[in-house]
Amino acid sequence: MAKKPKEAPSLGRDVALPASPDEARLDRVPNPHFDADYIARFTAPEFTCLCPVTGQPDFAHLVIDYVPNRWLVESKSLKLYLGSFRNHGAFHEDCTVRIGKDLVALLKPRWLRIGGYFYPRGGMPIDVFWQTGKLPAGCWAPDQGVRHYRGRG
């Protein structure tokens, strides 16, 4: 009899939003198509964190694209992990790159990129992009689809 895969701890259960990214737990599940190169995309259009200087909220649209290897990120754990930044004070660059690095450490994907499209702070939008690995040949990576900030123009 085949051994049943271990279920991620948050699946099918009530789980409170972690107080910080350090307390959050990202879970992974086996990739049933690890022999195929394909892109999985997660979009978080309402990501929030706190400015470490003023304590004011910062808002962003995050787009995470990755080519899985043996593992997929479990989506509920990713949602809770991203939500844990709500009361976390960090600069836009730190949040974006940390999320990318945490996912790479968990999944060891063939390729991953993250775009953090932050809304203006002090009248200036800040966009942060981070990527690791090489996109496999023949794998299509669509544009992230987030329009550049244009204000009222």
Catalytic status, residue 58:
yes
Among residues 27, 49, 58, 95, which one is catalytic? 58
Among residues 27, 37, 49, 51, which one is catalytic? 51
CA dihedral 7, 45, 96, 89 (to 10 degrees): -100
Active site residues: 51, 58
